[in-house]
Amino acid sequence: MTCDQADGELADVVAEPMSTDVNAVLVFNVLRTHSYLSPFLDADLRRRRLTAAQFNTLLVLRAAWPDGLRMGEIGERLVVTKSNVTGLVDRLEKKGLVERGNQADRRATAVRLTEDGAGLLDRTIPKHIELLSELTDCLTTEEKRQLIRLLTKLRRRLRLRRRKGEG
């Protein structure tokens, strides 16, 4: 099946009046696409004994190399709660992939990627990029760029609404 072949009429999966509302169809398709992508991405990362949240944390810390980030900054970049960040960092630290600086207040402590963490990313990223390419190979480069622009525009608007306390 190509990307152009539909996997069923929308009316078959979304009830009226939702199936005729372009906003509902858009959100439904974004969510449905995520549900199809996630198992492939999760399985790829599981082979490296990582969750998606752990992988994203390592990527965020790599971008902040060599200084690292405070727990709150990691949470802001990942859009997760502080308690989730603490759990993520605890598990990554046990694996030797990150380290905390010495600080009495754990939230103010800088978290840094270790050499082992950087090495794991070096081994993981090329294979992950290959998988992402395979999963999106039915789209042209221009279609991918257009989709990136549109999703980025939507995400920025949603982020603003969230900051205003609307979400």
pLDDT tens for the chain, 167 residues long, are 555 555 555 544 555 666 678 888 899 999 999 999 999 999 999 999 999 999 999 999 999 998 999 998 998 888 777 778 999 999 999 999 999 987 665 556 899 999 999 999 999 999 999 999 999 999 999 999 999 999 999 999 998 898 888 76
Is pTM beyond 0.85? Reply is no
Calculate the average pLDDT of the chain: 87
Cα torsion 49, 52, 58, 62: sign: positive
CATH for 51-159 (1.10.10.10, 3.40.50.2300, 1.20.120.530, 2.170.270.10): 1.10.10.10
Q: In degrees, to the nearest 5, what angle opens at C-alpha 91 toward C-alphas 69 and 114?
A: 50
Residue with tokens 């608007």: 157
Q: Measured at the alpha carbon of residue 39, what is the angle toward residues 18 and 24, in degrees to the nearest 5? A: 10
Give domain limits for the chain.
51-159
